[in-house]
Amino acid sequence: MKKYINIAVVGLGQIGSYLLNELNLKKKDIELKTGKKINIVAISAKNINKKRKFKINKSIFYKNPIDIIKNLDIDILFEVIGQSDGVSKKIVELSLKKKINVITPNKALISKHGDYLTKLAEKNKINLEFEASVAGGIPILRTIKEGLATNKIFKVYGILNGTCNYILSEMEKTKDTFSNVLKKAQILGYAEPGNPKLDLNGYDAFAKIRILSALSFNKKISKSKCLMEGIENIDFKDVDIANQLNYRIKLLGITEIINNHLFERVHPCLVKKDCYIGNVNGVMNAVIVNGKPIGESILQGEGAGPGPTSSALMSDLLSILRGNIKYPFGISSVKRKKPKIYNINNYSNSLYLRFEVKDKPGVLSLITKQLAKKRISVQRLIQIPDHKKKTASIVIITHLSNENDAQNCLKSFKNNSNILKKPTLIRLFN
C-alpha cells in the first residue's frame, strides 16, 4: 500500500461527525503506528447546512457520494449512512468493484448483503471491514476472527442492545413503567427520539446475531426466519416478580450449533441474578463465547454511541493501513456453507408464564389442567390477588417445556373469558 492514503467519509450524522474529528485529531498517531499518512479528500452528507459542531470544508464536500467514487482516487471509504439498501448498498458495492477498501458500522447492510459484498471484496483482493457493526467498541468480531481463530465455537450469546438493557435495568432500579423509562432513555440519547422500534422489537440485536453466527460457525448468513421478540410487551409487573424470584430480565441474542444445525434467536430471558450476564446493567453490552479449547470468554463494554463506534472504525482503519488483507468473515466465501437450520418447535426450555385472570374458584385449576394436557409441568406457582379489582396474577415457572407445546397451550386460552389478557411468556436462560 502507498504511503499517502486518500480517505472519504460518507455520512455525517453523530457517528460520522465524531469519526471525522477523530481522523483529523489522530493523523500523527496513525502515522506513528502504521507508517502511513492519511488525507481526507472527500466527505458527503444529505444536508451541507445542517447544524454541526464543526465547519464543513466545502472544498471536499460532495452532495452525491457516488461522485466521490466516480471522480476521485480513493483508497479507503467509510460508509456511515446506515440502512440495508439504497445509497448505502450502492456506494459500498461500487467502492468494492473499484478496488476501494470499505469500513462500515452498518449491521443492517452486512446482515442482509454481507455474503454478496464479501465476494466482491475477495474477488478484488481488498478489505471489507465491519467491526463496529456488532457491540460498538467491544472488539468481538476481531476476537473471533483472529484471537480465537483456531477454536471450535459452539455458542455465542449476550446483551447486544444497550437501549433495551438500559430500559430493563432502569425499570428494576426505579420501579417505573416501560413507557416512562423509554421517555427517559430518549431524553438521554439512549433511544431514538422519533422511532425506537428497531431497538425495542429485537431487530437490531437480530442483525448482530446473524453476523456473529456467520463468523463464529464459518457459515453463510442465514436467511431463514428466526425467533425474534423484543421488550415492548415487558410489564413492570414482570420485572418486579422476576426480581422477587431472584431473576432479572435481559434481552439476549443467542446463536449456537445443536446437532449440526444453526439455532439463532433474540428474545427476553429470565437470568439468574448471580450469573455474569445478570449483572451487566445500563447501556453496557456483553458477549460471551463458548468454545474449545478456550472454554468461556467474556467481553464487555459500551455497545453504542459515537465514541465506542468510532473506536471500532479506527481499529479497522489501522488494520488496513498495516497491510492486513483478510477474508471479511474469517475464511473464503467458497468455503462458507449454507447453514442447516434448527427447528425451534423441537426446542425445550423452562418458561415464565403470567396469566391475568378473574379471581374466582376454578380458574387456577383450569390453567393447570390445560398445561398438563399439553405436557407442560409446573415447577413453581405464585398467585398474587388484587382484591379491589377482583382479579389475580398467576405466575408459573415450568420445568423444561417444548416450544411448540407451549405456544399451542397459550393459544388455547385465547377465547376464555376468565383470562383477561394475552398470557405473558418469557423463557428462562439455560
- Positions marked active-site: 208
Other C-beta atoms closer than 10 Å to the C-beta of 64 total: 11
CA nearest to 231, candidates 305, 172, 304? 172
How many angstroms separate the CA atoms of 112 and 102, rounded? 16
Cell numbers representing residue 140 in the block = 468481538
Query: Side-chain half-sphere of 125: how many Cα atoms within 13 Å?
Result: 2
Query: Which amino acid makes up residue 78?
Result: F
How many angstroms separate the CA atoms of 106 and 330, rounded? 18
In angstroms and rounded to an integer, the radius of gyration of the C-alpha atoms of the chain is 24
How many angstroms separate the CA atoms of 166 and 185, rounded? 8
The number of residues making up the chain comes to: 430
Q: Cβ-count burial of 293 within 10 angstroms (0-12 exposed, 13-18 middle, 19+ buried)?
A: exposed
Query: Side-chain half-sphere of 91: how many Cα atoms within 13 Å?
Result: 29
How many angstroms separate the CA atoms of 53 and 56, rounded? 10
Spatial contact of 190 and 169, defined as CB atoms under 8 Å apart: no
